[in-house]
Structure 1
Amino acid sequence: MSFKKLIEPLTDAINHKGFKEPLPLQKQILPNIKGGASLFVIAPEGSGKTTSIVISVIQKLKHAVEDAPRALIFVKDKQAALNLELEFNAFKRGTDLRVYCAYDEHSIDIQRDEIYEGTDIVIATPKRLNRLFYLNGINLNKLQICIVEDADFLFRNNNFAEATRTPESIGKCQYLVFADKFDARFKRWQNGFMYHAQVVKQ
């Protein structure tokens, strides 16, 4: 898949950043993601995983059409959320897509009110996302794609259990898990909501 097959705002942003062609990992996974496949993507730092997340989500959603989020991305902490938000802001220029960060170091009441106003992409820590969900502070009925960035963090501080609760509460969805290495505990997801997922290793 070449960058030329993306929506115009994305190709403009990619050209502005000086990217000439996709990295080898991106050539491998972007067409599969666009086709709706669920994936475990196992690749080292610097292989283009984060950019693949941003491009794939913007390409899938294209523009704002709902008040409820259609993409959810789990990250390890506040700083990771803010860093990913910056990446989205750089690539989504020319679209009306809305990005919101939900993390523990912020008033949950304020977050609930701000999410209610409408967002397309939520970047969240698993613990805060679940608190919002069980307080009826976020509607996941429109969710199309659920992603874990740098999934190695899941195996610390009960994050794996927190992230597993979300798929148990939503309907059909595309799942993408990005990590430096494949952990045996992912097999629980393979046997459950990700049983059709492909494993791509670089």
Structure 2
Amino acid sequence: MQLKKINPNLQKALIENDFTEANEMQEETFSAIKSGVDAVIQGPKKSGKTTTIIMNVIQKMDKPVGESTRALILVQDKEKVLEAVEQFKRFNHYNNLRVIGVHEKGDIDYDKNLISVGMDVLIGTPIRINEMFTSAGFNMNTIKMFVVDDVEEMLRKREDTLIDRLSSSVDKTQRLFFCTQITEKVEILADRIMIEPLFFEMEDEA
């Protein structure tokens, strides 16, 4: 996959998984996300949002560092957690980032113990992530990337308070929203928690 200054280990894993060419979303957003700006990225279903998230997290995290979580990815349910973790396994083969997925149906004490040992990337639902950080008192200020996938679906479930609470616990971080539709609620939340966010809208090929 030819993207400017892409991490060579990431590129190798992508090619081995038959991702040889970047799609529109990846081409349009890669440089901006790499620069560290806040952004809202809209694309239709099957436009590669999850792949784009994982690529950029691996690109920026690069390798295991310390014990504290550095990237937080919020997804809407257990199915999405498992899907993202599985995709990380494919693309993270050479970078060896430590990744964990958590959701309401898992054992919260087990999850907290895993994170305390050392974790680079934490993927989870807003409810479970909020429970974990509230009860364990983790330091959120180590988070360098705060990513929310399918943000409009979470807002429909009125989880904006949870997202806002988690975001406000982080001092300096890059905040990214991914969605299939930029609704008024998405814009309002982005304006509230982001710093001069860029908006990217991908066309529906259909």
State the match for 1:93 in structure 2. 93
TM-score under structure 1 normalisation? 0.94
Report the CA distance shift for 1:103/1:137 in structure 2 as closer, same or farther (over 3 A): farther
Query: 1:197 aligned to 2:194?
Result: no
Contact 2:4 2:31 in 1 (8 A): no
State the match for 2:8 in structure 1. 8
Report the CA distance shift for 1:38/1:4 in structure 2 as closer, same or farther (over 3 A): closer
Contact 2:25 2:47 in 1 (8 A): yes
Distance in 1, Cα, partners of 2:173 & 2:161: 19
Q: Deviations over 1:30-82 (max 9, x none)?
A: 11000111110011122221111111000100001121110000011111101
Distance in 2, Cα, partners of 1:132 & 1:145: 18
Deviation of 1:103 (Å): 0.8
Query: 1:28 aligned to 2:28?
Result: yes
Q: Deviations over 1:100-132 (max 9, x none)?
A: 111111221221111101100000110111111
Deviation of 1:137 (Å): 5.1
Contact 2:38 2:195 in 1 (8 A): no
State the match for 2:147 in structure 1. 147
Share of identical aligned residues, percent?
30
Distance in 2, Cα, partners of 1:187 & 1:181: 10
Q: CA RMSD in A?
A: 1.6
Within 5 Å, give how 1:174-189 maps onto structure 2.
174-189=174-189
Q: Which moved more, 1:105-114 or 1:64-73?
A: 105-114
Deviation of 1:169 (Å): 1.2
State the match for 1:138 in structure 2. 138
Gaps of 5+ in 2: none
Gaps of 5+ in 1: none
Contact 1:112 1:137 in 2 (8 A): no
Deviation of 1:12 (Å): 0.9
State the match for 1:117 in structure 2. 117
Report the CA distance shift for 1:96/1:137 in structure 2 as closer, same or farther (over 3 A): farther
- Amino acid of the structure 2 residue aligned with 1:135: S
Q: Deviations over 1:121-155 (max 9, x none)?
A: 00011011111111125332210001111223212
- Amino acid of the structure 2 residue aligned with 1:133: F
Contact 1:115 1:137 in 2 (8 A): no
Distance in 1, Cα, partners of 2:4 & 2:35: 16
Number of aligned positions between the proteins:
202
Q: Which moved more, 1:110-119 or 1:186-195?
A: 186-195
Question: What secondary structure does 2:146 align onto?
Answer: strand
Deviation of 1:96 (Å): 2.3
Distance in 2, Cα, partners of 1:149 & 1:140: 19
Deviation of 1:91 (Å): 0.2
Deviation of 1:28 (Å): 0.5
Q: Which moved more, 1:126-135 or 1:10-19?
A: 10-19
Contact 2:40 2:190 in 1 (8 A): no
Q: Which moved more, 1:192-201 or 1:84-93?
A: 192-201
Report the CA distance shift for 1:2/1:164 in structure 2 as closer, same or farther (over 3 A): same
